[in-house]
């Protein structure tokens, strides 16, 4: 029986392609597995295999023709077989005349561009409005550039301290090259996202949006203002550093995290105000590169949102690298002294002053919603953040909000998941954002990662729990990588044995934590992890050992 051959979807983002070359002609016999033709889609391409045996009765789309995925390109069947009725008539292509849902995404960060792509995949007519640069803070001034600098710092630090494993060297830092590498990484990823947007048919407007009403925005661009209407809006405007009322905070030596990623030269000394995630990551970078770092944190310990045992190890690691840690300490003032700044701090009623070439201010971030004119659209705001539910809906049915601008935990992967959730709900699906599977990662040395309940939070919530613990000093791969520093801790319900949380500090912790997130999502228990074979030698074996520990039958612990 004659069969229509359609253009396959060769990648998740492919929507259409151009036939480049046919390897057979009408009348040729083909077999299953034969390469019929080559196709190009955006910057990528591929070859289409035949999935049936027969004779090519008709080539509908010849070389050079653009075809949508799922549309017919040929008919294959038996010689002499009637096939004309199979070929779609132009009037049958009704979808061409169906009005698509128009979606405008305000903000092109990791939440916004993901939302735009997902909505386009589901058939929406999508426009992305970006004020500055695609990729947002994460890609341009946050996650990616920080990790690029950390990679350089870690290699340098490892090279300096590898005599015990037989590597003797005297490495030097070319800070210009370090920054250049960071810039190249960012550029490559930004270019990649632009290609993804283009290949998915997302239109991009560079400008600043503000609402006129719930379906209309004014976009201020370099060429003037324009009005833009859409059926649905997704707000993904991100966040900005919090303003801190410290005397002298505007001194020329003071920089924020963005400034710390683009310094002209490596400073000899740096004060880091704030011992949260950004602060300790930046402290790790510059301490490893040779800068004398002093971290000042008001709270009793660093990274207060992480497990205390992990934070203690991270603090010891920073001290070992030469950093000075001042916890339970408040910054009183910053004084400009020419090429240096004098930082005055207070602890237990006593003041102290030290000098630093640069003062990095890392005291949190706040939602960026100024200028959106949300009042005109009627969108509810609470405590400086847009209010949205787990479907990412605001109180206005045509407007959704995702990422940092809705407050809560501000992480790129949260924004991306929320972006997918918003797009899917706009396009008629029932999608929910589930906070409990969200991992928190801190790229110190060793890395820290946590998902779900910690011991402290489980205790505070009154949950009956059991703990499985495995020290990486007993893990072969961890001993090879970093001397076995760190641990894996699993929090499980004491009766059901369901996984409630997982904390890891050690080599590749930020990659390994996904097993904990998946276990929580799937409702897995300690036996599920214990009965899963983990390859050897890997750090991941420690996760199984922690589960065995919680069950009272650890092998290596």
Structure letter (DSSP) for residue 285: H
Does residue 413 carry a catalytic annotation?
no
Given its phi and psi angles, is residue 395 left (phi above 0), alpha (psi -120 to 50 degrees) or beta?
Answer: alpha
Each residue of 454-466: b (16+ CB within 10 Å) or e? bbebbeeeeeebb
Of 128, 394, 137, 360, nearest to 267 by C-alpha is: 360
How many CA atoms lie less than 13 Å away from 227 in the CB half-sphere?
6
Strand segments, DSSP code E, in 472-553 are: 487-493, 499-506
Beta strands 292-296 and 324-326, pairing class: parallel
Which residues are registered as beta bridge partners of 108?
none
- The Cα–Cα gap between 419 and 425 comes to 10
- The Cα–Cα gap between 133 and 265 comes to 25
3-state secondary structure of 462: coil
Is the distance from CB of 368 to CB of 386 less than 8 angstroms?
Answer: no
From residue 229, alpha-carbon distances to 97, 215, 216, 540 in Å are 20, 6, 4, 50
- Among the listed residues 133, 151, 413, 536, the single catalytic one is 536
Is the distance from CB of 451 to CB of 438 less than 8 angstroms?
Answer: yes
Could you tell me the maximum CA-CA distance found in the chain, to the nearest angstrom? 98
What amino acid positions are annotated as catalytic residues?
536
């Amino acid at each position: 029986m004659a069969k229509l051959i359609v253009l396959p979807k060769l990648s998740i983002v492919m929507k259409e392609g151009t036939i480049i070359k046919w390897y057979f002609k009408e009348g040729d016999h083909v077999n299953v597995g034969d390469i019929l033709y080559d196709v190009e889609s955006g910057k990528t391409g591929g070859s289409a295999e035949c999935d049936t045996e027969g004779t090519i009765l008709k080539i509908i789309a010849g070389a050079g023709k653009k075809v949508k995925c799922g549309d017919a390109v040929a008919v294959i069947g038996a010689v002499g077989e009637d096939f004309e009725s199979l070929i779609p008539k132009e009037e049958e292509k009704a979808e061409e005349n169906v009005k698509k849902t128009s979606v405008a995404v305000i903000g092109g960060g990791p939440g916004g561009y993901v939302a735009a792509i997902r909505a386009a995949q589901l058939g929406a007519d999508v426009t992305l409005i970006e004020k500055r640069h695609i990729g947002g803070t994460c890609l341009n001034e946050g996650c990616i550039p920080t990790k690029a600098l950390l990679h350089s710092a870690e290699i340098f630090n490892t090279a300096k301290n590898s005599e015990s494993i037989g590597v003797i060297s005297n490495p030097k830092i070319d800070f210009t090259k370090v920054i250049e590498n960071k810039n190249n990484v960012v550029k490559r990823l930004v270019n990649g996202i632009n290609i993804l947007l283009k290949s998915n048919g997302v239109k991009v407007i560079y400008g600043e949006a503000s609402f006129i009403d719930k379906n209309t925005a004014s976009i201020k661009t370099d060429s003037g203002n324009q009005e833009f209407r859409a059926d649905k809006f997704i707000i993904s405007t991100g966040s900005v550093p919090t303003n801190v009322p410290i005397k002298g905070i505007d001194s020329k030596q003071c920089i924020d995290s963005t400034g710390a990623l683009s310094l002209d030269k490596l400073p000899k000394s740096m004060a880091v105000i704030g011992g949260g995630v950004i602060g300790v990551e930046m402290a790790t970078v510059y301490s490893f590169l040779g800068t004398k770092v002093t971290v000042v944190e008001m709270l009793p310990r660093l990274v207060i949102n992480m497990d205390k045992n992990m934070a203690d190890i991270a603090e010891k690691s920073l001290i070992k690298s030469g950093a000075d840690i001042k916890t339970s300490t408040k910054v009183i003032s910053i004084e400009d002294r020419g090429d240096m700044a004098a930082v005055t701090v207070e602890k237990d009623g006593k003041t102290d002053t030290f000098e630093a070439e640069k003062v990095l201010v890392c005291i949190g971030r706040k939602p960026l919603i100024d200028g959106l004119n949300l009042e005109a659209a009627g969108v509810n705001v609470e405590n400086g953040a847009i209010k949205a539910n787990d479907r990412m809906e605001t109180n206005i049915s045509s407007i959704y909000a995702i990422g940092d601008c809705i407050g809560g935990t501000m992480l790129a992967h949260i924004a991306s998941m929320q972006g997918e959730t918003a797009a899917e709900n706009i396009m008629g699906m029932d999608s929910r954002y589930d906070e409990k599977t969200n991992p928190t990662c801190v790229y110190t040395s060793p890395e820290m990662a946590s998902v779900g309940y910690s011991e402290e939070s489980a205790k505070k919530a009154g949950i009956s729990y059991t703990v499985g613990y495995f020290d990486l000093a007993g893990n072969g791969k961890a001993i090879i990588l970093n001397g076995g520093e760190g641990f894996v801790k699993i929090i499980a319900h004491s009766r059901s044995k369901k996984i409630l949380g997982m904390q890891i500090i050690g080599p590749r912790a930020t990659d390994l934590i996904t097993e904990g997130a998946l276990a929580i999502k799937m409702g897995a228990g300690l036996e599920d992890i214990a009965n899963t074979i983990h390859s050897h030698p890997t750090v991941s074996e420690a996760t199984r050992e922690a589960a065995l520990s919680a069950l009272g039958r650890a092998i290596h612990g």
